[in-house]
Amino acid sequence: MQRRSFLQSSAALSLLGLGACATTSIPAKARVVVIGGGYGGATAAKYVRLLSDHKIDVVLIEPQAAFVSCPISNLVLGGSKQIGDITTSYTGLSRNHGVTVVRDMARAIDTAKKTVTLGGGATIAYDKLVVSPGVDLMYGSIEGLQQAQAAGQILQAWKAGPETVALRRQLEAMPDGGVYAITIPEAPYRCPPGPYERASVIAGYFKAAKPRSKVLILDANPDVTSKGPLFKKVWAEQYKGIIEYRGQHKATVVDARAGVIKFDVQDDVKANVINALPSMRAGAIAVQTGLNNMANNRWCGVNYQTFESTAAKDVFVLGDSIQIAPAMPKSGHMANNHGKVAAAAIVAQLSGWEVNPAPMLTNTCYSFVDNTNVIHVASVHEYVAAEKTFKTVAGSGGVSAGPTAQEGVYAMNWASNIWADTLI
Burial of 410 (0-12, 13-18, 19+ CB in 10 A): middle
What does the pLDDT read at residue 9?
44
Q: Indicate if the pLDDT at residue 15 is higher than 80.
A: no
E strand or H helix at 101: strand 100-102
DSSP code of 94? Answer: H
Q: Indicate if the pLDDT at residue 21 is higher than 60.
A: no
- The average confidence (pLDDT) of the chain is 94
The string of DSSP letters for 121-176 reads S-EEE-SEEEE---EEE-GGGSBTHHHHHHTTSS----S-SHHHHHHHHHHHHSPT
What does the pLDDT read at residue 104?
97
Measured CA to CA, the distance from residue 38 to residue 44 in angstroms comes to 10
Region at 356 (left for phi over 0; alpha for psi -120 to 50; beta for the rest): beta
- Work out the pLDDT band at 23, boundaries 50, 70, 90: very low
Contacts of 239 (CB under 8 A, 6+ apart): 200, 203, 204, 207, 215
Contacts of 144 (CB under 8 A, 6+ apart): 253, 254, 255, 256
Question: If you average pLDDT over residues 69-81, what whole number do you get?
Answer: 98
Q: Indicate if the pLDDT at residue 24 is higher than 90.
A: no
What does the pLDDT read at residue 19?
43
pLDDT in tens, 191-246: 999 999 999 999 999 999 999 999 999 999 999 999 999 999 999 999 999 999 99
332, 339 contact by CB (below 8 A) = no
236, amino acid identity: A
Measured CA to CA, the distance from residue 210 to residue 292 in angstroms comes to 44
Q: Indicate if the pLDDT at residue 372 is higher than 50.
A: yes
Question: If you average pLDDT over residues 278-291, what whole number do you get?
Answer: 98
- Work out the pLDDT band at 266, boundaries 50, 70, 90: confident
What does the pLDDT read at residue 10?
46
Measured CA to CA, the distance from residue 222 to residue 311 in angstroms comes to 33
Q: Indicate if the pLDDT at residue 5 is higher than 50.
A: no
Measured CA to CA, the distance from residue 28 to residue 48 in angstroms comes to 15
pLDDT in tens, 251-263: 999 999 999 999 9
Is 23 or 34 the better-scoring residue by pLDDT? 34
Measured CA to CA, the distance from residue 91 to residue 113 in angstroms comes to 30
What does the pLDDT read at residue 215?
98
65, 393 contact by CB (below 8 A) = no
Residue 202 CA, distance from chain mean position: 21
